[in-house]
Structure 1
C-alpha cells in the first residue's frame, strides 16, 4: 500500500530522534518483560532511543498545559478545576499499541510534575458478547459499531470535567468479553493514556439529529498512531496467534481453548483467515484512514522497531 508524505508532518529518522534526550534512563529500563506484548520485542535500545525522547516531548507538552491552567487561574482570580492531560494511542491489531502504552505510562510517571498516569484500554467499552450476538455483529468485534461510543465519550467527558474519581469497564481477554461486575477506577490522574484500534475514528452525525457530533478524539490533547506495513501486520498477527496456543489458549477457561492443540499449519491457516476476513477489512476501512489525524505517527519496520517518526507541525 502506498503511503504518501503528508505536508503537516515533520519526518524524523530514528537516529535523529534518538539524540533528542540525554535523560538518565537506567532506573527506568527495568522489568521490560512485563511491558511488552507477545512476540513484540522490546529492548533497552528501543526504550532509550524512541520512548525516552517521546516521554521528554510529552513532558514538555504536559508542562505547558499545566502552566496554561495556572495562567487561567491567575486571570480569573479563582481556582479552576484541574483536568488530566489525555493521550490517545491508535493503530492496527498486532502493531504493538499496548506495548507503546505501557512503556509510556512507566516513563511519564517518572517525571515529578505528573506522577499519576492512568492507562485505559477501549476493550472495556466494547458491547458485551450477548449484545453483539443479538445484533449479529459478533464477527465485527473491534469495528466501530461494536463499541459503546456513548459510554466511552461520557467517561472522557467526566475526566475532562475534572471529576476526581471516574470508572471504566474492564475486559477479559481470557473470557473474550466485558466483565460485568468489575471496574477500573481512575482517581485524580495527571495523565490518562487511552489505547484502542479506533480511538481516532470519526462518525458522521445521524441525518436530522439536533445533537452535535462528538468524537472520542475531541478529548485528546495528544494522539499517537502506531503504524506498520500491511504485510508485516499480517505476519505479526499470525505469529502471535501461533504463540497463544501454548499460553492463553492453553487455559481450559479460555474462550479460544479450542485452538490450543492446532498444528502450526492449521494455526497459520485459521489466523490468516481471521486476518483477511476481520482484521484487514477493519484496518483498511476504519483504522488506517485515521492515521493522519494523529499528532505523532510511529513508523515501524518489519522487526517491530520504530524506524522513523512523523510529528505534526505546531
Structure 2
C-alpha cells in the first residue's frame, strides 16, 4: 500500500526530514494523492509529522504573466518561478529549527498567495507535487537532487481532460474557451510531462491508495 511506502520514508532520527515529490500531467490527481498521503502519515505517526507544499504556489502572478505576454500559456514551465521553488526545497532540507513559510495557490482567485502554507520544525516528511518536478530543463533539474523519491502519478487522458474541463469552467471560461485552452496549452504540457515518466522512481495511480 502506498501509505506504508511513504511511512517508510519518514526518518526515525529526530531532526531529520525527507522530501517526497509527486509529478504528472495536469489533473492527474497529484494534489489529491499528496493530501491523502500527508493525512495518512499524520494519522499513524502523529499530527505534524508530515506537511504538504505544492509547486502551484510558484505560479507567476497574473500581472507578471500579462507583462511577459504568457497569460494564455499559464501552466507551462516558463510561467512558474522555478528558482523560487528550488530555493524553498533547499530551505526545507536545511532549516529544521524555524518554521518555513511557502506560497499557496488559490484556484478561486487564480493567483498565488504569499505565505499561505507553513512547514513547522517538527515535520519529518514534506510531500511536494507539481507538473515539472522531473523536467530536464536546467531550471527544474535541481529538484531531482532535493527529493528522496520522485513518483509519477498516472491517470487516463479522458479522466484528466474531463477534470480539466470542469476546472476551467469553474474558473469562468466558456466551454469553447476551456476546450481551446486544453488543446493548445494543457495537452502540450501533458505530453512534455509524460516524457519524464521513465526518469521517476516509480509510477503510481489514485487506485493504488485502495
Question: Aligned pairs, how many?
Answer: 207
The residue number in structure 2 matching 1:276 is 183
CA distance in 2, matches of 1:125, 1:163: 22
Matched, 1:122 2:55: yes
The equivalent of 2:132 in structure 1 is 198
1:133 aligns to 2:133 (yes or no): no
C-alpha distance in structure 1 between counterparts of 2:135 and 2:15, whole Å: 27
Following the alignment from structure 2 to structure 1, what is the Cα–Cα distance between the partners of residues 20 and 94? 16
Aligned to 1:19: none
1:298 counterpart (196, 204, 210): 204
Contact 2:60 2:112 in 1 (8 A): yes
Stretches of structure 1 that go unaligned for 5 or more consecutive residues are 1-52, 71-80, 206-212, 250-255, 300-304, 309-314
Q: Alpha-carbon deviation of 1:132?
A: 1.4
1:230 aligns with 2:136: no
Equivalence for 1:54 = 2
- 1:149 has 2:82 as partner: yes
Deviations 1:53-99 (A, max 9, x none): 1111222233xx43xxx5xxxxxxxxxx8231111111121221111
Tell me if structure 2 keeps the 8 A contact 1:201–1:217.
no
- Relative to the length of structure 1, the TM-score reads 0.59
Alpha-carbon distance in 2 for matches of 1:240, 1:156: 28
Shift of 1:228: 2.4
Higher radius of gyration, 1 or 2: 1
1:176 and 1:272 map into 2 onto residues whose CA distance is 18
Gaps spanning 5+ residues in structure 2: where?
none
- RMSD of the alignment, in Å? 2.5
Q: Secondary structure at the match of 1:185?
A: strand
